[in-house]
Structures are given as C-alpha cells and as structure tokens.
Structure 1
Amino acid sequence: MSEIFSCALQVGWEHLDSNAHMANTAYLDLAVNVRMRFFQASDFSLQEFERLRIGPVVRRDEIDYYREFRLLDAINATLALDGLSDDASHFRLRNEFFRADGRLAARVTISGGWLDLNLRKLTTPPEGIVRAYASLARTEGFEVLKSSLKQ
C-alpha cells in the first residue's frame, strides 16, 4: 500500500533568516533531510548509496510559501511522488511542510535524476530505490516523466 511519508521536525536557530522566520534555503535543506529519512526507512541507507556509488542529483527546485514558521515551531513534513519515468531515472518529489495547527506552510517540488558517481553520468536507480518509490503515495497531479537517459 502506498502512503505519504511523514516525519516530525522543528525549526532551529540555523533555519532562520534576518526576518526571524524560516529562510528559503532551510526548506530545501529540510526537504533533503526528509527524502534521506524516507530512503533510510525504506531500507535504502546512505551506506547503500555509497556502496553502489550512486546519488540523487537535483535538476530543479520550486518552493511555494503559504505561512510562516518561527523559532522552535513544530513541523510535520511529508513526502509524496509527483512524477516518475518508466525507467525511474527521472523523478519529481513533493515535500509539504505543515504547522502544528495543520495548515500548509510551504511546498517544495524537486525534479531530479540519478548519477553514477564513477562514470559521472545519469543512470537508472537500483531496484531498492524503485521499490521505495512504489511504496510512496502519488500526488493528485502525478505524471509519467521522460527518461533522464539519452536515447
């Protein structure tokens, strides 16, 4: 059964900008953290990425802001699959960040691929990542993407 992955986070001092609310780069950093927690929870650890010499590469980030977070606010962060190519070489993931009152504060959508760290070329991910994607809920706007590999 596919479900939205979620985890609890908290706004820290390091996440604040000069206006005393979450900086735009903090959302990107937390989104990466949530994605890596997802892979870890899906039995695909950072050590497995290192062993296989593969890594995710971001091709595009988009952030939409709705409400503020301030220091020490609780965050419920979610992750869902927004797009995937048939060979899983190209993906689009959506993180949403909710306040303690349940209101959406921000949405991060990233588009990326998989890099073979030895060849320094885009590649298809291993079966463990494909299985992890299959376990993740799809967004309402999910779409099949073109492969990242040159045909």
Structure 2
Amino acid sequence: MFEVELFAGWGDIDFNSHMRNTAYLDKSVDARMLYFAKQGYSVSEFAKLRIGPVVMKDQIEYFREIHLLDRVVVSFALAGLSVDGSRMLLRNEFLLNGKLMARVTSAGGWLDLEKRKLICPPPALLDAMKALDRTEDFVELPSSVNRTVSN
C-alpha cells in the first residue's frame, strides 16, 4: 500500500477548527502525485507527454476530525480501473494513530492536454496504475474512450 505522511497546516483549517473539506481533496492529490513521481511520472513528465489526470467526481466520507498540526497517513489505492486504463476510481484514506479519519474516492481519467479529450494512458503509466494495491471493493470500469467501428 502506498502511504505518505502529511500534516494539517494553517491553510487547511476551517472556521470550526478542523480540516476543511477541500484540504482533503488537496492532500489526496498530493499523495497521488507523489506516487506517480515515484513511478517516473513527475509533473514535468506529464507536461512532456501532454497528458494529465482529470477528476470528474469526488466523494468524501468523514469519520473523525483532523485538527491543526495533526500528522496523518494518507494512503493511495485503486478502487476501480477500466481494462484500457482510460477510467479509474482512486481511493485515499486518512489515518491518525491508526484510526480512519476520512476517505476520498475520486472518479477520473486521463486527459490529452492538446485535444482536451479523454485517452488511454501510455503502457508504462497503465502499468504504474496496475501496480497500486486494490481496495476490497475494487470494480472493473467500462472504457471512456469512444471507439468507432467502421462498416
């Protein structure tokens, strides 16, 4: 399981003195991008390839509050993937002292930054996706790439 330790900083806290909802999304993306960088897909590599991850839907489940300067472990796993890798469900869990604090599940795909259309990832990037641990509720997703059949 890929995990990274992060902390709730000053800008992550809301008026109620706990981590704001968008901070969970930001930290989820941080964990994901750290994973991809370790797999050889740094931000500059994505820019060179002219592709990037795109999120179409986020779901956040809250279980316990995270407060200023709390150090949390953020995991990153695969909750769903299409065979061609064009669609994915990404899962991040936030743990504090081993207790589940929150869970973020994001539906997404890979965006061609020139054509502004969803694409299949290059084979090595698909391999990096497949190398992620799968959640217990992992599902196979349909492709998001529109393939036309000529007669």
2:114 aligned with 1:123? no
Task: Write the distance in 2 (CA, Å) between the matches of 1:17 and 1:129.
Answer: 36
Gaps of 5+ in 2: none
2:92 aligned with 1:95? yes
1:1-151 to structure 2, matched below 5 A, reads 4-99=1-96, 101-151=97-147
Task: Write the distance in 2 (CA, Å) between the matches of 1:38 and 1:128.
Answer: 14
Gaps of 5+ in 1: none
| Structure 1 SS opposite 2:34 | helix
Identity over aligned pairs, percent: 50
- Give me the TM-score of the superposition, normalised by structure 1: 0.95
Quote how far apart the aligned CAs of 1:128 are.
Answer: 2.3
Counterpart residue type for residue 75 of structure 1: V
Task: Write the distance in 1 (CA, Å) between the matches of 2:125 and 2:92.
Answer: 18
Quote how far apart the aligned CAs of 1:119 are.
Answer: 0.8
| Structure 2 SS opposite 1:96 | strand
Quote how far apart the aligned CAs of 1:86 are.
Answer: 0.6
- Give me the TM-score of the superposition, normalised by structure 2: 0.95
Task: Write the distance in 2 (CA, Å) between the matches of 1:86 and 1:79.
Answer: 20
The runs of at least 4 consecutive aligned structure 1 residues that moved more than 3 Å come to none
Task: Write the distance in 2 (CA, Å) between the matches of 1:24 and 1:131.
Answer: 31
Quote the RMSD (CA, aligned, Å).
0.7
Quote how far apart the aligned CAs of 1:102 are.
Answer: 0.8
Indicate conservation of the 8 Å contact 1:44/1:128, yes or no: no
